[in-house]
Structure 1
Amino acid sequence: MATPINLSVMKAFDALDLLSEDRPELTAEVVARELRMSYATAHRFLVTLEAVGVLITVRRGVFAPGPRLARLGRMADDLAPLPKTLQSTLDRLRETLDESVMACRFTPRGPQCVAVSQAQRPISVNIRIGTTLPMLNTAQGRLFLAHMTPRDRENWSLAQGLDASAIAAINPTLQEVLACGYALNRGDNEPDIAAVSVPVLVEGRAVLTLSAFGTLGRMDSAFVDLAKEQLTKAAATLT
């Protein structure tokens, strides 16, 4: 029998994932709206996180990262750093593919961009480091979901407040992704934006995704084949 998951802990980390360079502070209103919970519950999460030093109050009702969160962040960087060659690998991929390339890490709210190499063309698609993408309708998110066990997917969907039908509907796609080793997004998340993504696997676990992304018109079958090949080779070097 699987060990029950504490959904309150998962929600607390979901709340922390709302922090970013563009949003360095949180309020109960923001947490309640984005995590689809009541104001009282959101406020309780924030006050509890403040009580343990993960957040601090910067003014009435406004919370920012606290000393304990900063210490954990430094520890995470020390203990689980990104590959030292990641940026140079992305730069080489960008030169080969002539498209923007990025790497994402898993977060419960969705894949988060941790490194990017922007295409050097007058018109290209860009993304900023720290941006969190949707899980269900992006190539990166589908890769992370595909490499979860069915039980982990179920726990994740419960923590995100998703109906079971949402995962059931995407399961055939996830099986296909797992079988072929890559995922595609052809305007599923943003109209006219496409991506091809492969996982960076460590002992069968997806720790990162590498993706080439750009305008839908440039992502024809020839480009997808080239991108799959180059991304897969690059992922192998990073492990």
Structure 2
Amino acid sequence: MPDTIVEKRLRAQQMPALPEISGTAPGGGPGGVQSIGRAFELLERLADAGGELGLSELASATGLPLPTIHRIMRTLVAGGYVRQEASRRYALGPRLIRLGDSASRMFGARARPFLASLADATGETANLALLDGDEVVYVAQVPSRHTMRTFTEVGRRVLPHSTAVGKVLLAQLPPDDVRALLARTGMPRLTDATVTDPEAFVAQLADVAQHGWAVDDGEHEDGVRCLAAVVPHPTARAAVSVSGPAARLGGEARDRIAPALTVVAGRLAAALRDEA
């Protein structure tokens, strides 16, 4: 298939390297500290479950012995990274907010050159969003050059069912996990176009996973259309998007913007992998 003008412009741009990222996957890799890896694995399991689990549920999810989990959770509670409810269940603690906010800002800064190339190539506002627990949080944005443009505040949190970024991020999860998330958050109707039926939404995600990108066609805000693609990275849980007035993002614009989204998302993922 011939390259679109947008794809040619993207290929011609030289992307700066991102700052170095280092780390070990949860569970501990070669040379890692096992207890730290386990602590992060427990935190990830809490986040995946919506932020709260009991001791036996953590044991079932991780396969770790109950005494080991109990010791780690006591340490995390003492540090404020986890709290224990009156029900004896464990929940994510307030000190994680500061860490998460700082990490989001740094990730947004790293991704900004990629967003700038996307905004320049498409002429529309480019965004970066992360899946944080049951919500989508916008962490970076490069605005459109047009006078009439969309604007999403960096740091804003939204439910994923009505956004293109939410759709591509949830499309990476097993359907039962998506249903559990929707049961926790609900599916409030924001516009007449918002999908509020869980099974219809899950079916839509199958198409999203097949195509590699998603559309919010006035489902979050009337008159606004957004296209998004997931950043294909094993731990980032991120998506890039382009948003603008629906009148400018019709069928022809969609056909040229969708490939540009996947190109930029792939470049960002490759940069993150190279620095790991």
Question: TM-score when scaled to structure 2?
Answer: 0.58
Distance in 2 separating the partners of 1:67 and 1:133: 19
> After superposition, where does 1:1-239 map in structure 2 within 5 Å?
10=50, 53=80, 68-69=95-96, 72-73=99-100, 77=103, 82=107, 85-160=110-185, 166-203=197-234, 207-239=237-269
Distance in 2 separating the partners of 1:158 and 1:133: 16
Distance in 1 separating the partners of 2:236 and 2:169: 6
1:10 alignment partner AA: G
> What whole-Å deviation, never above 9, does each CA across 1:62-115 have from its counterpart, x for those lacking one?
xxxx983466448x739x952764101111111111110101000234211011
| Contact map agreement 1:11 1:159 (CA 8 A) in 2 | no
2:247 alignment partner AA: G
Structure 1 unaligned spans of 5+? 14-49, 56-65
1:104 alignment partner AA: A
CA distance change for structure 1 residues 126 and 110 in 2, over 3 Å: closer, same or farther? same
2:259 alignment partner AA: E
**SS across alignment from 1:169:** helix
**SS across alignment from 1:218:** coil
| Contact map agreement 2:175 2:202 (CA 8 A) in 1 | no
1:232 deviates by: 0.7
- Which residue of 1 is the match for residue 42 of structure 2? none
**SS across alignment from 2:247:** helix
**SS across alignment from 1:147:** coil
Distance in 2 separating the partners of 1:134 and 1:162: 8
1:51 deviates by: 8.9
| Contact map agreement 1:147 1:206 (CA 8 A) in 2 | no
CA distance change for structure 1 residues 70 and 150 in 2, over 3 Å: closer, same or farther? closer
- Which residue of 2 is the match for residue 46 of structure 1? none
Distance in 2 separating the partners of 1:195 and 1:102: 10
Larger radius of gyration: 2
**SS across alignment from 1:154:** helix
- Which residue of 2 is the match for residue 42 of structure 1? none
Structure 2 unaligned spans of 5+? 1-44, 54-76, 83-92, 189-195, 270-276
Distance in 2 separating the partners of 1:172 and 1:231: 23
Bigger relative contact order (CA 8 A; separation at least 6): 2
Question: TM-score when scaled to structure 1?
Answer: 0.66
**SS across alignment from 1:82:** helix
Alpha-carbon RMSD: 3.5
